[in-house]
Chains A and B, each alone.
Chain A
Amino acid sequence: MKKSMEELREIREKTLEKIEMRTGTEGYRIVVGMATCGIASGARPVLTKIMEEIDKRNIINVTVRQTGCLGMCQLEPIVEVIDLDGNKTTYVNMTPEKTERMMEEHIVGGNVVREYTLTVINHTIVNPKESKSE
């Protein structure tokens, strides 16, 4: 791990600068389902894309956590985005492409991507609709 340790030290410096700029109040919390159901449906590339985008876009006030099964295995990969006030948006059937859009429009832009979210009314999943042709 010899020369790559140098690279790690550079990352330490860069990250320390980033940490200085963090305001201390939380920004978005991103929670990715990484249980067997999630991983089997492709959650790893989604997590990778999220980490990539944060690094690439230099997003400062955001934390990423992995979680277990969210109980809606048929909708995995699932990504939950929680804002400063605790409001939760649940993105379902995520892919790396959809993730890129979510990062740009929601995390950076502040606008939920309604097309990708889960809507539950009276304990029934209203959106996405069950579709046999999928």
Chain B
Amino acid sequence: MSKDFLKHVTDPFVTTRTSRSVGMGLALLSQLMEQCEGTFSVRSKKDVGTSVFVSFDQNHIDAPPMGNLSESVAGMVSSLGQTTDLIYVYRTENGEFCLDTREMRRELGNEISLNEPGVFQWIKNYTADEIVKLTGENQ
């Protein structure tokens, strides 16, 4: 993004969409962060790339609910396509687990897309199991 675009990127009326004049993603994300006094930053260099960092204070009374993580991770991976990867790290005081779609692609081979229902089920179960191992709770 250009410096000018970056300045207004959390404005919902600032978007690269052509089908509509509104883009809610970063607007909602930064609002949720503000709600629980977290941190947020977007770094971008035109023609190079963009990084988005966000943190939430989980102990804050207005922290948004975590939701169903295993379902969400499975859903995310399923929508990645051939050229995007996800490295998901879940870290607690008891340790961490990592789901890396690059590693998954190596195991599955080129013939099998991450969008296969069998893969979706595996991700959902794996993520749920690992979270229970680390926290003792289902999420």
List residues of chain A with CB within 8 A of the CB of B112: 11-12, 15-16, 19
Q: How far is the CA of A1 from the CA of B109 in the complex (A)?
A: 17
- Interface residues in A34-55 by Cβ distance below 8 A to B read 34, 36, 44-45, 47-48, 51-52, 54-55
Enumerate chain B interface residues (CB-CB to A < 8 A): 20, 24-25, 28, 68, 71-72, 74-75, 78-79, 97-100, 103-104, 107-109, 111-112, 115-122, 124, 126
Give the bracket for the number of chain A residues in contact with chain B.
Answer: 20 to 34
Quick check: is A4 within 8 A (CB to CB) of the other chain? Answer: yes
- Contact digits for A10-37, partner B, Cβ 8 Å, 1 yes 0 no: 0110111011000000000000001010
SS of A interface (majority) = helix
Q: Which of A1, A11, A64 contacts B108 (CB 8 A)?
A: A11
List residues of chain B with CB within 8 A of the CB of A15: 108, 112, 116, 118-119
Do the beta carbons of A7 and B122 come within 8 Å of each other?
yes
Q: How far in angstroms is the closest Cβ of chain B from A97?
A: 16
List residues of chain A with CB within 8 A of the CB of B119: 8, 11, 15
List residues of chain A with CB within 8 A of the CB of B99: 1
Do the beta carbons of A8 and B98 come within 8 Å of each other?
no
Q: How far is the CA of A9 from the CA of B126 in the complex (A)?
A: 14
Q: Which of B68, B71, B97, B104 contacts A8 (CB 8 A)?
A: B104
Do the beta carbons of B75 and A48 come within 8 Å of each other?
yes
Do the beta carbons of B108 and A8 come within 8 Å of each other?
yes
Do the beta carbons of A47 and B107 come within 8 Å of each other?
no
Quick check: is A5 within 8 A (CB to CB) of the other chain? Answer: yes
